[in-house]
Structure 1
Amino acid sequence: MKFRLRKQKKINRSRFVDFLLMALLFTVGAFMVLPLLFVISNAFKPLDEVFLYPPKFFVRHPTLNNFVDLYHLLSASWIPFTRYLFNTFFITAAGTAGHIFIASMAAYPLAKRKFPGKNILFSIVVMSLMFSTQVTAIPNFMTMSWLNLIDTYWAIIVPAFGMSLGLYLMKQFMEQIPDALLEAAQLDGCSEFRIYWSIVMPNVKPAWLTLTIFSFQSLWMISNEGASPGRLYLYSEQLKTIDYAMGQILAGGIARVGPSMAATLILISVPILIFVFAQSRIIETMSTSGMKE
C-alpha cells in the first residue's frame, strides 16, 4: 500500500501585510511617545509661546531661559538644591535596594520550601495587594510613630521594604526554577543563603530588574501633597525631597510656568533613563533564562 506524503505548506505573510503591521505599530508607538515629546517641547518654549492660542505642539523658537530661571530660583532657596537632590537619591536608593533584598529573601522560602502555614502567609500577601496606600496611611503612621521614626528618612524607607507587590512578583518567578537545580546545589554543600544568592537571584533577574523600575519610580516621585509619605512623615525642610522643591516652584503662579515645565522635564528624565536601561537588560535576560526540568 502506497501512501502519498503531502508536503506541508509553509505559511508566509505577504510583504503588504508586514507593511500594515509595521504601520500599525508605528502609529501606536507615535501616540505613546507624544506626551513625552510635548513635555520636552514645552520645556524649551519661551513665555510667549506657552500662552499662544491656539497652542502649538512643537516649539518654534527654542530657548534655555526656562532652565536658567529654574537655576536662579533654586539658588535663591535657603535650603541648597543639592540637599533636596541628596534626600531624593538616598531615599530612592535605600528603599529600592532594601525592598528587593527583603522581598526576594522572603519569597525564596515561600516558593521553594515547605513549612506549616505557607499557604496562609501567601494568601495574606495576595490580599494585601487590594489595599491602596491611602487605606494603610494611618496604620503606617502609627507604626512609624511607635518606632520613633517620624521626621526621618526611615519613615519612608522602612515602609518601602514591605511592599507586597515585590514579594508576590519574586515568588511567582522563583517557582519557575527547577527543584533539581537547588537539590544539586545542596548535594554540593551549598548553604541556603549561597543557593539564594548564587543560584536563585541570577535566574530571577527579570523579576528584580522589573521590581527595581517600579520601586525606583514610586520612591523618586514622593509627593509632598495630600496623604502621601512625604507629607505625612517629613516635616523638616532639610529632609524634603526634590519633588517638594519643584512643587514650590509650581506654586509661584503664571510667572513660573516656564521654570515649572523645565523642572517637570528634569523630574521625569531620571526614571525614564532608568527604565530604558533596565528594559534592555530585562529583554536580554528573558531571552536566555528559560529553564525546564
Structure 2
Amino acid sequence: MILRWLLPKRLNRSISVDILLFLMIGSVAAFMALPLVFAISNAFKPMDEIFVFPPRFFVRNPTLDNFFDLLHLFNDSWIPFSRYMFNTVFVAVVGTAGHVILASAAAYPLAKHHFPGKQLLFSMVVLSLMFSPHVTAIPNYMTMSWVGLIDNYGALILPAFGFSLGLYLMKQFMDQIPDVLLEAAKIDGATEYRIFWTIVMPMVKPAWLTLILFSFQRLWAANAGAQTFIYSEQLKTMDYAFSQIVQGGIARTGVFAAVTFLMMMVPIGVFILTQSNVMQTMSTSGMKD
C-alpha cells in the first residue's frame, strides 16, 4: 500500500482524448498557416482572380505571369537584379555571422566571470531591449555619420553586430553551463579561448542556432536601413528594390504578390533547414551540476 503511494501515478488518458487533442492542435496549426497559404496562392493568381469579389482563398488557374512581369521590370532597370541579390545576401550573412560571434564572446565573461560593473552592464543590456528600432534610429544615424559609414555596407552590418537580444540570449544559456566543467578544463591546462570555442559554444548550440534565425530574418528585410543609410542605387538591398517596383499602382498588384512570395520563402527555408537542429539540441543539451 505504501509502495503504491510512493510510485508516480500513471496517465490513464483514453484514445478518444488523444484524438480530440490532436484535432484541436491541428485546427490551431491550420488556422495559423492560413496567411502563409493565402500569400503563396496569391503569387500564382492571374489578375482577374486577384480582384474578384468575394476573394477566393485558393488559386483556380495558376500562372507564372506575376513572376515574369517582375523579371521584365528588373530587366528594364539600370541596376541588374543580381546586384540587389548580392547586396542582400552579403549584408545578411556577414551581419548574422558577426552578431553571433560577438554576442557569444561578450556573453561568456558576463556569464562565467566576475568583475566590477558586471551587473550594471547586464542591466543596461536588458534595458536596451525595451527600446524599439524606431526610437534609436536617429542615434544610429548620427553614429554611422560620425564614423563615416553612411552609404556603405557597414551602416547596415555594424548595428547588427550590437543587437542586444543576441547578448541577452547567449548569456542566459551560458549561465546554465556547470562551473565545475570549466574549472576542470582549466585544471587540464585549457586556455580561455579553447574553453570558449570547444566547450562553451557547442553546449549553447540551441542559442546560436536560434540567434541565426532571428538575425538573418531581421537583416533579410532591412528595407528601413537601406532607405536611411544607403543612397547609392548599386548598394541597395533587394527588399528596397522590390518596394520601389511595386509602387507602380494597382496594375502591379500581381507583381506585389510575387514579391511577397519571394521575400517570404527565404527566411522560411532557413527555418526549415535549421529547426530540426534547434529542437534536437533544445531537448538534449540540458546538464545538471
Please indicate the TM-score interval, normalised by the length of the shorter structure: over 0.9
In the alignment, what sits opposite 1:188? 188
| Partner amino acid, structure 1, of 2:258 | A
The 2-side partners of 1:86 and 1:10 are apart by: 57
Query: Given the alignment of the two structures, is residue 10 of structure 1 paired with residue 10 of structure 2, yes or no?
Result: yes
Quote the offset at 1:135 in angstroms. Answer: 1.1
Contact 2:102 2:161 (8 Å CA) reproduced: yes
Give the TM-score taking structure 1 as reference length.
Answer: 0.95
In the alignment, what sits opposite 2:268? 272
The 2-side partners of 1:53 and 1:118 are apart by: 60
- The 3 A distance-change label for structure 1 pair 230 and 4 is closer
Aligned length: 287
The 2-side partners of 1:191 and 1:4 are apart by: 53
The 1-side partners of 2:2 and 2:175 are apart by: 47
Query: Given the alignment of the two structures, is residue 25 of structure 1 paired with residue 25 of structure 2, yes or no?
Result: yes
Query: Given the alignment of the two structures, is residue 130 of structure 1 paired with residue 130 of structure 2, yes or no?
Result: yes
- The 3 A distance-change label for structure 1 pair 239 and 16 is same
Quote the offset at 1:11 in angstroms. Answer: 2.6
In the alignment, what sits opposite 2:101? 101
The 1-side partners of 2:283 and 2:164 are apart by: 27
The 2-side partners of 1:273 and 1:219 are apart by: 15
Quote the offset at 1:5 in angstroms. Answer: 5.4
Quote the offset at 1:4 in angstroms. Answer: 6.9
In the alignment, what sits opposite 2:226? 230
Quote the offset at 1:259 in angstroms. Answer: 1.5
In the alignment, what sits opposite 1:71? 71
- The 3 A distance-change label for structure 1 pair 6 and 247 is closer
Quote the offset at 1:172 in angstroms. Answer: 0.3
Contact 2:227 2:240 (8 Å CA) reproduced: no
The 2-side partners of 1:181 and 1:4 are apart by: 40
In the alignment, what sits opposite 1:260? 256
In the alignment, what sits opposite 1:80? 80
The 2-side partners of 1:103 and 1:10 are apart by: 44
Quote the offset at 1:257 in angstroms. Answer: 1.1
Identity of aligned residues (%): 63
The 2-side partners of 1:4 and 1:157 are apart by: 64
The 2-side partners of 1:4 and 1:80 are apart by: 78
In the alignment, what sits opposite 2:285? 289
Contact 2:84 2:238 (8 Å CA) reproduced: yes
The 2-side partners of 1:243 and 1:274 are apart by: 17
Write the deviation string for residues 219-265 of structure 1: whole angstroms up to 9, x where unpaired: 00011xxxx22111000000100001111121011111112111110
- Equivalent position SS for 2:284: coil
- The 3 A distance-change label for structure 1 pair 5 and 183 is closer
The 2-side partners of 1:142 and 1:245 are apart by: 25
Quote the offset at 1:287 in angstroms. Answer: 2.0
In the alignment, what sits opposite 2:155? 155
Higher helix proportion, which one? 2
Aligned ranges for residues 149-228 of structure 1 at < 5 Å? 149-223=149-223, 228=224
- The 3 A distance-change label for structure 1 pair 253 and 178 is same
Quote the offset at 1:37 in angstroms. Answer: 0.5
Give the TM-score taking structure 2 as reference length.
Answer: 0.97
The answer for unaligned runs of 5 or more in structure 2 is none
Write the deviation string for residues 126-176 of structure 1: whole angstroms up to 9, x where unpaired: 111111111111111111111000000001100110011100000000000
In the alignment, what sits opposite 2:237? 241
Quote the offset at 1:60 in angstroms. Answer: 0.4
The 1-side partners of 2:51 and 2:132 are apart by: 38
The 2-side partners of 1:282 and 1:28 are apart by: 22
The answer for unaligned runs of 5 or more in structure 1 is none
- Equivalent position SS for 2:177: coil
The 1-side partners of 2:3 and 2:283 are apart by: 36
| Partner amino acid, structure 1, of 2:186 | Q
The 1-side partners of 2:22 and 2:287 are apart by: 32
Task: Give the CA RMSD over aligned residues.
Answer: 1.2
The 1-side partners of 2:138 and 2:64 are apart by: 44
- The 3 A distance-change label for structure 1 pair 191 and 62 is same
